[in-house]
Amino acid sequence: MQPSPSYTDSYSPGGSSFVPSPYVGTSPSQSSKKQVMVDVFERMKTSVDKLVEVMREGNMVKNEQLQVAKRHAIAIERQNELMKRQNDLKSEQISIMRRSSPVHYLESEIWDMLVQLNLHDDLILQYYDYLCENPAHVRMLFGLPTHLRLNSLLKLMSGGGDSS
């Protein structure tokens, strides 16, 4: 504790100065004021200590929440990676299925192709019946460029290009 400032005693001859001790020679009112101040200080210190403890606990809880959030983010990243792999596998399966399954053309598509070749109506009906009975020939014709289809169809009908 720091020494108190000097006080001048007005009743002393010559006005001598003295330094009062906090424990000795103090009046009861000074002592009670000091005690009140000490009590207030102790309560403030206790309150500050409690506040610091609550903040420390809050920080610990926040750190735990942060760790949980990080683990959650890692789990979500793993799920995303798994979903991407599943999508890749499904795309590959679909691609394999498309390559392995035969393409079927509708009768209306066959008819439209024959009309585009500018054939006479009687020939269109004859070729239409033939192609509907031979789906392999239909796939072959649709695989050709449009300008080569008529010659290939004539070879098929004459028996020169039988590929069934």
Whether the per-residue pLDDT at 15 is higher than 60: the answer is no
Cα–Cα dist 113/111, whole Å: 5
Cα–Cα dist 59/150, whole Å: 82
DSSP-derived 3-state class of residue 4: coil
The residue extents of the domains of the chain are 27-101, 107-158
Q: What is the pLDDT of residue 84?
A: 95
The residue with tokens 């789906």 is 135
| Residue from 156, 120, 127 nearest 148 by CA | 156
Distance of CA 48 to the CA centre of its chain: 42
Cα–Cα dist 92/99, whole Å: 11
pLDDT, tens only, 109-150:
999 999 999 988 888 999 999 999 988 899 889 889 999 999
DSSP-derived 3-state class of residue 152: helix
Q: What is the pLDDT of residue 152?
A: 92
pLDDT, tens only, 17-64:
544 555 555 566 778 888 888 888 999 999 999 999 999 999 999 999
DSSP-derived 3-state class of residue 147: helix
Q: What is the pTM of this model?
A: 0.39
Q: Side chain identity at 95, as an amino acid letter? A: S
Please answer whether residues 131 and 125 qualify as being in contact, where contact means their C-beta atoms are separated by less than 8 angstroms: no
